[in-house]
């Protein structure tokens, strides 16, 4: 079986070595040197150009190098084959680490101190205990539940929100539209870890931000198209939100003239919140390739109707 590898962000050499360590006979074709398209039966990809997967006539399964598959689902030529997303301990751990770092930064008022430094102002703000800071995590899936649990273990008061009811130890859980208002009202820091779907596009809008406590902060690590950017700027102007950390934006890379670059109350990172290490991610992919070879059910198959 030949496997196509395509990613402009991931290292094909490291991935090939990690996969061969588990499946020594695997024939890996790194794009664009793919040889005969008829020989490719599986694809391991991140942001493949639209049409690439459709050009492989004997493809049997698609494995995503990322957790979110919205970009692939948006390709109208995407073949109707099992599409498996990445679920991996390094992806989960790095997301929890990123969000914890941001929450600590806010809890210890580093955003306030950054503004004070710009004004050469020396003023102490004594922090309360971690439990006094309420963090709301939107999305309680693989990444959201691990992130919420990490924050709770650190002493923060954590609540979570999902489409269907979920239980996470130490986290107060809410679900669906009926639970959204109460969830938001108790989130001093809102973390978005939702997949991008028809329901979650533009979900971070003025109406939602208005339901947060005055002076809340936002950590957006889901997908850029979930945030209505003009509504964020307006909420920062009025003080409804005091700061936002954005790891994802509607257009990536962010265009040079975009107001987010220089906004004093926005901190940007370049879609770097979490990443999958080949050493561990290859275990998931190798297991799915074994399953594909044996005709067994694949792991982490995306529900295309649901969109994640």
Neighbour-count burial for 169-202, b at 16+ CB within 10 Å, e otherwise: eebbbbbeeebbeebbeebbbbbbbbbbbeebbe
Asked if 199 interacts with ligand NAP (CB under 6 A), we say: yes
Which positions are catalytic?
223, 271
Q: Which two tokens stand for residue 15?
A: 């991935």
Asked if 142 is part of the footprint of ligand NAP (rule: CB under 6 A), the reply reads yes
Question: Can residue 82 be called a binding residue for ligand NAP (CB under 6 A)?
Answer: no
What residues have CB less than 8 Å from 203, skipping those under 6 apart?
138, 192, 194, 226
Binding of ligand NAP by 247 (CB under 6 A): yes
Cα angle at 37 between 33 and 38, to 5 degrees?
145
**Residues 86 to 145: which contact ligand GLV by CB under 6 A?**
86
Q: State which of residues 141, 179, 186, 224 lies at the interface with ligand NAP (CB under 6 A).
A: 141
Residue 66 C-beta: closest distance to ligand GLV, Å: 3
Residue 68 sits in the site that holds ligand GLV (CB under 6 A): yes
Is 67 an interacting residue with respect to ligand NAP (CB under 6 A)?
Answer: yes
- In 3-state terms the chain splits into helix, strand, coil percentages (rounded to 5) of 35, 20, 45
132 token code pair: 């006094």
Nearer to ligand NAP, 34 or 82 (CB): 82
Binding test (CB under 6 A) with ligand GLV, winner from 67, 196, 241, 266: 67
Binding region for ligand GLV (CB under 6 A): 66-68, 86
Binding residues vs ligand NAP (CB under 6 A): 66-68, 95, 139-144, 161-164, 166, 193-197, 199-200, 221-223, 247-248, 271, 273-274, 308
């Amino acid at each position: 079986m030949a496997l196509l590898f395509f990613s402009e962000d991931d290292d094909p050499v490291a991935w090939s070595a990690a996969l061969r360590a588990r499946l020594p006979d695997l024939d890996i074709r790194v794009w664009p040197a793919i040889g005969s398209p008829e020989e490719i039966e599986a694809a391991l990809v991140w942001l493949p150009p639209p049409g690439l997967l459709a050009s492989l006539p004997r493809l049997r399964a698609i494995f995503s190098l990322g957790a979110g598959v919205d970009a692939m689902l948006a390709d109208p030529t995407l073949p109707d084959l099992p599409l498996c997303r990445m679920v991996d301990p390094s992806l989960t751990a790095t997301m929890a680490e990123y969000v914890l770092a941001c929450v600590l930064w806010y809890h210890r008022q580093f955003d306030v101190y950054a503004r004070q430094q710009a004004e050469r102002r020396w003023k102490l703000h004594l922090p309360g205990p971690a439990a006094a800071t309420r963090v709301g995590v939107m999305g309680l899936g693989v990444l959201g539940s691990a992130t919420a649990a990490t924050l709770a273990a650190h002493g923060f008061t954590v609540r979570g929100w999902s489409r269907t009811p979920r239980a996470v130890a130490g986290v107060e859980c809410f679900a669906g539209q009926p639970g959204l208002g109460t969830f938001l009202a108790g989130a001093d820091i809102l973390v978005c870890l939702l997949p991008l779907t028809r329901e979650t596009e533009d979900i971070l809008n003025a109406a939602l931000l208005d339901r947060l406590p005055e002076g809340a902060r936002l950590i957006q690590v889901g997908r850029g198209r979930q945030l209505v950017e003009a509504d964020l700027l307006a909420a920062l102007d009025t003080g409804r939100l005091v700061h936002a950390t954005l790891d994802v934006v509607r257009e990536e890379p962010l265009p040079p003239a975009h107001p987010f670059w220089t906004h004093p109350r926005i901190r940007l990172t370049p879609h770097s919140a979490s990443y999958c290490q080949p050493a561990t991610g290859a275990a998931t992919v190798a297991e799915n390739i074994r399953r594909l070879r044996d005709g067994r059910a694949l792991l982490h198959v995306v529900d295309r109707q649901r969109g994640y």
